[in-house]
Amino acid sequence: MHSSIYILVLFAVTLTTAQSTMCPETVLDGVYSFVINSTSPLGPINLMYVQHDAFRGLPFATTTLHNELNQLTTYNRLDDFRRYDCPDIWGYQTVCENTYNMTVEQREKSNRTAFDRGHITPANPYRFSVDALSSTFYCINIAPQDPWTNQNPWVTVESRAQRHFAADAGYVMTGICDRDDVWSPTYIGYKVPACYWKLICYVDPRGDTQVVGFIGNNTLLKYCSGCDVEEKAQRVIDTTTVRDQREILNEIDSNRVSFVLEAWVGAESYLLVNRNENRVPRATDCWSRMTAPQEVKDEWNTVMRADVLAHEYTEEMDLDLIQKMWQER
Ligand SMILES: *[C@@H]1O[C@H](CO)[C@@H](O)[C@H](O)[C@H]1NC(C)=O
Ligand SMILES: *[C@@H]1O[C@H](CO)[C@@H](O)[C@H](O)[C@H]1NC(C)=O
Ligand SMILES: *[C@@H]1O[C@H](CO)[C@@H](O)[C@H](O)[C@H]1NC(C)=O
Ligand SMILES: *[C@@H]1O[C@H](CO)[C@@H](O)[C@H](O)[C@H]1NC(C)=O
């Protein structure tokens, strides 16, 4: 562990002094790390810190800085899914300009014909500029996602992560779990991750850095009214329950857990440029908060439960059952 952290520190320093980060220059264990920039009302900014897993042909994680800028809704979503045009990784992404067609068995299970092209970093917080929004549609930020979870509880998680920073600043890191799901692969052979995860790091009003996380189980559920009601209620509860950073790391291969540290450091090294932002936590503090205090989790869970009840579900949802299951926890 110590030697790998030492290597990571050297690695981060190398990255900080790199001239160009638009195309990956550094690769470690098949993971390419680089920054995507964009225009913004503040001028040019660094939009997201990307770690792309070429071995798996999927993202590892993308990390962003959130604040008031991410609340703007100037431009509307335009689906321009496309590969990220850098030679080293061109062939190691999913071809997400096409839909993620399902096998016959997956179609039967889900009552859909394709996995969602699930955003890692979502599109909605990037409506402040056309190219920022468009950059979230690069295939290095997309993976096959269970449609029902993506359109229901994962929306709740994403929108809370955004609104948490309505008048504050911090980092949001989103990734996919290392395990492949029981329904993997897609018809064409792309790996389907067993889950999505998100980590949110911020400084609370008392000046303490906090990290909370979420895990979205990515196993297919059925799209249909009134079926698998209990399984869906369970999915909603599991996805919107606040987790410790430690629990997220448990979803990542132990040899690759250090990439989460690298992402906190990468975010700090790059994403503050032109943001005029002094409210963000230190990367090392984000990494050190492996468990969140119970009162912080209670606070978040209260907010999440209200969001769960307010969400507009894609089909009929048994909210009474969800409330009953909360009470039994
Ligand atoms: C993004 O970076 C590239 C390469 O360094 C540069 O040519 C381009 O002008 C930058 N774009 C913005 C919006 O900063
Ligand atoms: C999509 O998958 C189905 C099997 O579920 C297959 O029959 C069909 O040919 C596939 N379509 C494409 C365009 O690959
Ligand atoms: C994910 O969801 C499936 C289907 O609801 C369930 O069988 C499985 O146990 C869940 N996985 C985890 C880790 O909770
Ligand atoms: C599958 O979804 C469609 C809507 O997309 C719905 O009309 C149909 O009833 C669903 N099938 C089943 C078996 O529930």
C-beta separation of 264 from 289 below 8 A: no
Residues 6+ apart with CB under 8 A from 206: none
Q: What is the DSSP string of 248-313?
A: HHTTS-GGGTHHHHHHHHHHHHHTTTTT----PPPHHHHHH--S--HHHHHHHHHHHHHHHHHS--
Q: Which residue has the tokens 């008048």?
A: 167
pLDDT at 17: 34
Q: Counting atoms of ligand 4 from 1, which one is nearest the CA of 222? A: 14
Work out how many domains the chain is built from and give that number.
Answer: 1
Ligand 1, residue 131: give the atom nearest the CA.
13
Q: Which ligand ends up closest to the CA of 182?
A: 3
Q: Which of 29, 31, 28, 24 is nearest to 11 (CA)?
A: 28
> Which amino acid is located at 231 in the chain?
E
Instruction: Note the pLDDT of residue 16.
Output: 41
Mutate to test the pocket of ligand 1, among 22, 35, 46 (most ligand atoms within 8 A of CB): 22
Active site residue ranges: 119
Q: What pLDDT shows up at residue 262?
A: 97
The 3-state DSSP class for residue 73 equals: coil
122-156 confidence digits (pLDDT tens): 999 999 999 999 999 999 999 999 999 999 999 99
User: CB of 80 within 8 A of CB of 134?
Assistant: yes
CA of 85 to the centre of ligand 1 (A): 14
Which structural domain, as residue segments, surrounds residue 209? 2-327
Rounded-to-integer distance, Cα 294 and Cα 202, Å:
16
**Ligand positioned closest to the Cα atom of 251:** 3
Ligand 4 pocket by Cβ (under 6 Å): 111, 223-224
Order of all β-strands in the sheet with 114-119: 100-101, 114-119, 142-145
Pocket-forming residues, ligand 2, beta carbon under 6 Å: 101-104, 107, 187
pLDDT of the residue at 129: 97
pLDDT score, position 3 = 42
Task: Give the CATH number, domain containing residue 132.
Answer: 3.40.570.10
Per-residue pLDDT of the chain (329 residues; tens, 9 = 90+): 344 444 444 444 444 433 346 888 789 999 999 999 999 999 999 999 999 999 999 999 999 999 999 999 999 999 999 999 999 999 999 999 999 999 999 999 999 999 999 999 999 999 999 999 999 999 999 999 999 999 999 999 999 999 999 999 999 999 999 999 999 999 999 999 999 999 999 999 999 999 999 999 999 999 999 999 999 999 999 999 999 999 999 999 999 999 999 999 999 999 999 999 999 999 999 999 999 999 999 999 999 999 999 999 999 999 999 999 999 98
The burial of 19, by beta-carbon neighbours within 10 Å (0-12 exposed, 13-18 middle, 19 or more buried), is given as: exposed
**Distance separating alpha carbons of residues 307 and 324, to the nearest angstrom:** 16
Cα separation, 145 vs 119, in Å, equals 9
| ∠ CA 223-226-228, rounded to 5° | 65
**Which tokens sit at 96?**
């997400």
pLDDT value at position 325?
97
Q: Is the distance from the beta carbon of residue 231 to the nearest atom of ligand 3 less than 6 Å?
A: yes
Residue nearest to atom 3 of ligand 3 (CA): 219
Q: Is 135 in the pocket of ligand 1 (CB under 6 A)?
A: no
φ, ψ of residue 90 in degrees (nearest 5): -50, -45
Burial status of residue 174 (CB atoms within 10 A of its CB: 0-12, 13-18, 19 or more): buried
Mutate to test the pocket of ligand 2, among 98, 100, 101, 186 (most ligand atoms within 8 A of CB): 101
CA dist 268 → 16, 69, 109, 255 (Å): 10, 17, 42, 23
- pLDDT score of 329: 85
Q: How far is the CA of 49 from the centre of ligand 3 (A)?
A: 30
pLDDT tens by residue, 27-71:
999 999 999 999 999 999 999 999 999 999 999 999 999 999 999
53 closest CA partner among 177, 195, 199:
177
Centre of ligand 3 from the C-alpha of residue 70, in Å: 32
- SS3 state of residue 223: coil
**Would you give the DSSP letter of residue 139?**
G
* Ligand 3 atom at minimum distance from 217 CA: 1
pLDDT for the residue numbered 6: 43
Q: Which atom of ligand 2 is nearest to the CA of 98?
A: 13
The letter for the amino acid at 38 is S
CA 38 → CA 44, 65, 66, 94, 309, distances in Å? Answer: 6, 13, 15, 23, 35
